[in-house]
Structure 1
Amino acid sequence: MEIIRYAELKAQPWRNGGGVTRELARHPEAVSPRDSWDWRVSIAEVSKAGGFSAFPGMERVLTVIDGDLLLLNVDRAEHPLEKYRPFRFSGDADSAGALPTGDIRDLNVITRNGAFKGYTSIIELSKKRAHPVFAGQWGILLQGQAAVSPGSAGGSAAPVELNRYDAVVGSDTATPEILGRGFLAVVSIDRVSDG
């Protein structure tokens, strides 16, 4: 069972000084130039209004996960993004954000067009019914208290407490299961089939 601890992720400052990004996962992992990966999951802290980086040939799903509102301008059309409402747009688009209610934090899922498709769902956790996280998924604790266990195939391992923004990496063998109270983002990245 793999847990990505948010507190251990390195903050990467934006070039325009408007915020920082912490990368949860990307594929392939070993590449260093920004544009050579096929998908990336990250959390950004946005502290200043301004332009967003372009990601040519990519598609983005952005979800406000902390703070009230991001006014996202995409190709001169304004989109008010409220907390926990995923929004999909082209990485090629000219995009900028305004912060009418203060700083926000957002979850970004960026995928290469024609190769992968990303999805973000926000679910309310239950203390009675565990939420499984399958291969190709990440479960990110957004709010509340939760613990993860390796599921029935993983034996009798004790549940592990999650902190805010920790991510559980999905698996189909010992499928992690999350129990608790609060909200979880479930990110799925699917390979686009050729035909």
Structure 2
Amino acid sequence: MEIIRFAQLKPQPWRNGGGVTRELASHPEAASAQDGAWDWRVSIADVVSAGDFSMFPGMERVITVIDGELLLLTVDGEEHPLEKYRPFRFSGEAASSSALPTGDIRDLNVIARAGEFKGYTSIIELSKKRAHPVFEGQLAVLLEGKASVTSGAQTAESAEAPDGEAATTEPVDLARYDAVVGSDTRSPEILGRGFLAVISIDRVEHAHS
């Protein structure tokens, strides 16, 4: 079971000085040092001043305000008021800029290479009684509240895992903005109270002519 601890992520300042980004995950991982060399990236950004967003040619973006009230996003001249927990999809090639009418915000960014991957963000309310599983190709980020994660029910494949892995059924507490990496062998299960962002990255299937 893999947990990405937000507190351990290094903030990367924006080129224009308008904020900082912390990268949760990217693919391929070796490309994360070169901006835009990856096929997809999931990150959390602190936006502290109005201004232009970086352009990502060939990419599609999904942005979700996760802290603060409102981000006023202008995409190719059209204004979109983005409220908290409402994911918004737009082209990475578009000229986009932000205004902060209610002060600083924090947002969750999913950027994926158009035609190769498709990124989705959904916000769900956690339950204390019914665990929320996180599957392969998903990343679950605790946005607010209290939650813990266990490594889920054992499957036939994981039963053959090396000794020691089976002992991870004890609940592990999550801090705010910690991310749980999904798996299909022992899908992590999250219980608690609060809100969770579930990010899915799907590979686009190409029809063979």
Q: TM-score, normalised by structure 2?
A: 0.92
1:165 shift after superposition:
0.1
Out of 197, 203, 206, the position equivalent to 1:185 is 197
Residues 80-91 of structure 1 mapped to structure 2, 5 A cutoff: 80-91=81-92
* Distance in 2, Cα, partners of 1:96 & 1:42: 18
| 2:174 matches 1:158 | no
- Aligned residue pairs total 195
* Distance in 2, Cα, partners of 1:147 & 1:33: 34
* Distance in 2, Cα, partners of 1:169 & 1:35: 22
1:155 shift after superposition:
4.4
**Which segment drifts farther, 154-163 or 17-26?**
154-163
| 2:102 matches 1:101 | yes
Residues 110-189 of structure 1 mapped to structure 2, 5 A cutoff: 110-153=111-154, 155=166, 157-189=169-201
RMSD (Å) for aligned C-alpha atoms: 0.8
Secondary structure at 2:7 match in 1:
helix
In the other structure, the counterpart of 1:11 is: 11
CA shift digits 1:163-195 (9 cap, x unpaired): 000000000001000000000000000000011
Q: Percent identity?
A: 74
Gaps of 5+ in 2: 155-164
Looking at CA atoms only, which structure, 1 or 2, has the larger radius of gyration? 2
Q: TM-score, normalised by structure 1?
A: 0.99
* Distance in 1, Cα, partners of 2:102 & 2:128: 32
* Distance in 1, Cα, partners of 2:123 & 2:166: 28
1:152 shift after superposition:
1.2
* Distance in 2, Cα, partners of 1:40 & 1:17: 20
Gaps of 5+ in 1: none
